[in-house]
Amino acid sequence: MTKSNLPAPDSAPAELLAALRSLIGEARQQVLRQVDVVQVQTYWQIGRHIVEFEQGGEKRAAYGQRLLPQLGLALSQEFGKGFDATNLRHMRGFYLAFPICDALRRELSWTHYRLLLRVDTSDARQWYMQEAAAQNWSTRVLERQIGSLYYERLLSSQDKAALLAQTRQVQDADTHQPRDFVRDPVMLEFLGLPDTGRLLESSLEQALMGKLQQFLLELGKGFAFVARQQRISTETQDFYIDLVFYNYLLKCFVLIDLKTGHLTHQDIGQMDMYVRLYDDLRRSEGDNPTVGILLCGSKDQSVVRYSVLHESEQLFASKYRLVLPSEDELRAELERDQQALEAQAHKTRTKHND
């Protein structure tokens, strides 16, 4: 049977199809819940071991601030970047915030607990944990509730019923489907699966980033490729930078982030944060300030922004204009690649329909 002669999907027996979909969906959920439970318990145990080691006397305490970087270097080399110093710090804080393992809620993922670590008081943290588990809050709903001080507002509210009803509306409006663990970077890192970054990208972004990476390397102006979808972390959040280069002529890192929609002030602020974080976490003595390039891939407004922050001496500013591609060059390359990709996609769809 050729592909064109295959039966249409809607010709399958509806009752049987519904039953099989339910069975497969529930099986995936069971696998995900089991991995969540194992991941949370493992991270709690890691945190416990670190804290108990630190409390093991003056000799162990002497490690001080060196302990987590040393552990992170050794573990991340063997098990991946999910066990670097930043994440070990989260695990240590996790154990300190939730010292009784049996009190943890099995319904919650590690991402839930990472969000709960932002809550300052123990009472509020416990309440959010119980509510998130009981109400089946997604991580998006939990983050929204913590950010809006829901617990504090509930305590002080004179109309708790109305506030609870509002919360149910927020939860009902959240159409977030159960996440596919194959696309969850935190889960990928725990499982040690390769090519995390590629799985995070949409097909258009992936194709554009691949062409842009090749374009910059072919410029021959000192670009050395460092990473794709590189993670940088704050105390409570992970961020992923589309492309990272080091330019040995400028002696600085160059960060590139692509937005396939319109550029917003939030995007610019995020790149500002990326540059500052990168300077704090990755920049070495002798490196010049990190450069951020923000690209907007929308058809009618392809915008480029360079961000050279603090310590930007005029000599360096002049030099990077000679080494980095101009805004016009980047805009033209981005538009040309996007048009070519869209034309190829249209050609493929037309051929498939024929």
| 204 and 170 within one domain | no
**Unique residue bearing structure tokens 């996440």:** 179
| 206 and 82 within one domain | no
Of the given ranges (14-18, 70-74, 205-209), which has the lowest mean pLDDT?
Answer: 205-209
> Left, alpha or beta for 230 (phi > 0: left; psi -120 to 50: alpha)?
beta
Tell me phi and psi for residue 62, to 5 degrees.
-65, -20
- pLDDT score for 175: 47
| 117 and 85 within one domain | yes
- pLDDT score for 238: 76
Out of 41-45, 153-157, 241-245, 275-279, give the one with best mean pLDDT.
Answer: 41-45
Q: Do residues 255 and 292 make contact, with C-beta atoms less than 8 angstroms apart?
A: yes
Among 183, 215, 237, identify where a domain stops: 183
Confidence at 11, pLDDT banded by 50, 70, 90: low
Among 153, 183, 213, identify where a domain stops: 183
- pLDDT score for 84: 86
The single-letter code of the amino acid at 338 is Q
Q: Is the pLDDT of residue 256 over 70?
A: yes
Confidence at 113, pLDDT banded by 50, 70, 90: very high
How far out from the chain centre does Cα 213 lie?
Answer: 20
What are residue 308's DSSP bridge partners? 291
| 43 and 176 within one domain | yes
Average pLDDT of the residues in 294-307: 66
| 18 and 163 within one domain | yes
**Percentage above 70 pLDDT, the chain:** 69
Tell me phi and psi for residue 229, to 5 degrees.
50, 50
The C-alpha atoms of residue 272 and residue 308 are separated, in whole angstroms, by 9
Average pLDDT of the residues in 230-258: 83
- pLDDT score for 201: 47
Give SS3 for 6.
coil
Q: Do residues 91 and 43 make contact, with C-beta atoms less than 8 angstroms apart?
A: yes
CA dihedral 180, 151, 232, 296 (to 10 degrees): 70
Q: Residue 188 domain-assigned?
A: no
| 175 and 92 within one domain | yes
- pLDDT score for 15: 85
**Percentage above 90 pLDDT, the chain:** 14
| 342 and 242 within one domain | yes
Sheet holding 223-233, edge to edge: 223-233, 238-247, 252-259, 291-296, 304-308
Q: Is the pLDDT of residue 105 over 80?
A: yes
Q: Do residues 309 and 289 make contact, with C-beta atoms less than 8 angstroms apart?
A: yes
Q: Is the pLDDT of residue 47 over 90?
A: yes
Residue span of the structural domain in which 88 resides: 11-183
Q: Is the pLDDT of residue 186 over 90?
A: no
- pLDDT score for 176: 47
Beta strand pairing call for 223-233 and 238-247: antiparallel
Confidence at 126, pLDDT banded by 50, 70, 90: very high
Between these two residues, 184 and 280, which has the higher pLDDT value? 280
Question: 256: domain CATH number?
Answer: 3.40.1350.10
Q: Residue 6 domain-assigned?
A: no
Q: Residue 147 domain-assigned?
A: yes
Task: Tell me how many domains the chain contains.
Answer: 2
| 120 and 41 within one domain | yes
| 210 and 303 within one domain | yes
The C-alpha atoms of residue 230 and residue 244 are separated, in whole angstroms, by 7
Residue whose C-alpha is closest to residue 295's, from 250, 339, 329, 321? 329
pLDDT tens, residue by residue, 154-168: 887 766 676 666 666
Q: Residue 195 domain-assigned?
A: no
| 169 and 59 within one domain | yes
- pLDDT score for 181: 46
Q: Is the pLDDT of residue 69 over 70?
A: yes
